[in-house]
Amino acid sequence: MVTIFTTPLATPAQLSTSPSQLSGIPDPVEQKLRLVACRLIQAAGILMELPQPTISTAILLLQRYYLTTSLPSSPLLQTCLASLYLSSKLTEHAQKPRDLINILKYLLSPASPLYPPHLLPKDSEETTEKKRSNKHLYYVSEGDYTALKSLLLSTEAKILRALGFNTTVNLPYTLAFNYLQALGVLSHSSPPKSPSESPSDPLQHPKLVSTTFAYLTDLLSSPSQVYLTHHPHELAVAGIYLAARDHGVKLPERWWEVWDVERETLGFLVVVMRGGTYVGDKKVWIVEEGVWEEVEGGEVVAIGAESVEREVERLRNL
């Protein structure tokens, strides 16, 4: 079926000028916020034990949403909540708003590993470990909860409208797995010669699949947003290409053409994947309201609307 290969893509016009830029948010700030949103959604998804396709769907919904909506009109926290909520329904792993809100609030609290350590209260003698396990740090009051929930629900409706209710998200994971199988690199082509050879390790290259998937998942938070510009089969082929190179697996000549990928496209995607995220090895710490700052070994990003506004103002005055 053609439907599993096609996914809604962004137009060049949508990518060149985002609504956030039009409303005065500089490109680097928007990119950082998008990266932070991916991190938050990924972390929340792992804590809630959601499958990766649900998490990836949420990230893609958020990326698509910000193609037509600006950050000031739909702040980051509620958009993260709403896209996770929506994707959990779309992928039949529905979650309660309460759980999502609790987890996101935890991730933004001082108890979270995403919280910058230098901002932790210094007065008490407790160790960092002890401080982080303090449950009062991430308690969500009933008032906060009600307010956030109504924001979550209205943002969900806004996401659906902004996407024209086309929530089709075709991810490259299944295709990548099928392609690997078709390439015959997963299982031994010939039966094992000695009984000791195979049973313990039925896969020829046990790490190949997980490396491919890791590349594909990493690519979600890449600043170039290739999930919005490339079809899933192209992403799958690029993921396999890099994983095969990492593990020294030899593939037939020009195998990517079998799946209708041009050499140029593959080359571009490989460069993007190798490029990694724009921050490099720097750590990104996330707070809800605070100051954007560079500290030793990383930087702090504050996602609250006011903090973003203050950062934009600061950049403008530079």
Partner 1 sequence: MSSKPKSRWDTETAEDAAEAARRKAEKEAKKALKLEKAKKAEEEAAAAAARRRHEDEERHAQQSLAVSDEPPSKRRKVSAEPDEDAAASPRRKKRAPSTANGERDTSEARLLRFPAPEIKPCNSVDDYEPLNRIEEGSYGIVSRARHIATGEVVALKKLKLEGETDGFPITSLREIQTLMAARHANVVNLREVVVGERLNQVYIVMDFIEHDLKTLLDDMPEPFLQSEVKTLMIQLLSATATMHTNWIMHRDLKTSNLLMNNRGQIKVADFGLARYFGDPCLPLTQLVVTLWYRSPELLLGAQKYGTAIDIWSIGCIFAELILKEPLFQGKSEIDQLSKIFELMGVPTDEEWPGWRRLPNSKSLRFPRTKQTTGHLLRSKFPLLTTNGVSLLSSLLSLDPSKRITAEEALKHPYFRDDPKPKSEAMFPTFPSKAGQEKRRRLNSPSAPMRGDAPQLFGEVGLTGRSGLFAGLDEEEVGGGFSLKVH
Q: Which residues form the interface with partner 1 (CB under 8 A)?
A: 1-3, 5-11, 14, 64, 67-68, 85-86, 89-90, 92, 94, 97, 152-154, 156-158, 160-168, 228, 231, 233, 254, 257, 260-262
* C-alpha to C-alpha distance for 226 and 290, rounded to whole angstroms: 31
Using CB atoms within 10 Å of the CB of residue 133, give its burial: 0 to 12 exposed, 13 to 18 middle, 19+ buried.
exposed
For 302, counting Cβ atoms within 10 Å of its Cβ (0-12 exposed, 13-18 middle, 19+ buried), the class is: buried
CB of 234 to partner 1, least distance (A): 9
Instruction: Tell me how far CA of residue 60 lies from CA of 83, 143, 177, 186, in angstroms.
Output: 9, 30, 20, 29
Nearer to partner 1, 43 or 152 (CB): 152
CB neighbours of 71 closer than 8 A, spacing ≥ 6? 20, 23, 25, 30, 33, 308
Q: Taking the complex as a whole, how short is the minimal distance between the CB of residue 122 and partner 1, in angstroms? A: 41
Query: Which of residues 71 and 111 has its CB atom nearest to partner 1 in the complex?
Result: 71
> Closest approach of Cβ 197 to partner 1, in Å?
31
φ, ψ (nearest 5 deg) of residue 295 = -125, 175
Q: How does DSSP classify residue 69?
A: S
* Min separation Cβ 64 and partner 1, Å: 5
Q: Give the H or E element holding residue 287.
A: strand 283-287
Task: Write down the least CB distance from residue 289 to partner 1, Å.
Answer: 26
> Which DSSP symbol is given to 294?
E
Considering beta carbons, is residue 136 or 165 the nearer one to partner 1? 165
Measure the CA–CA gap between 65 and 71, rounded to whole angstroms: 10
Q: How far is the CB of 174 from partner 1 (least distance, A)?
A: 12
DSSP string, 73-91: TS-HHHHHHHHHHHHHHHT
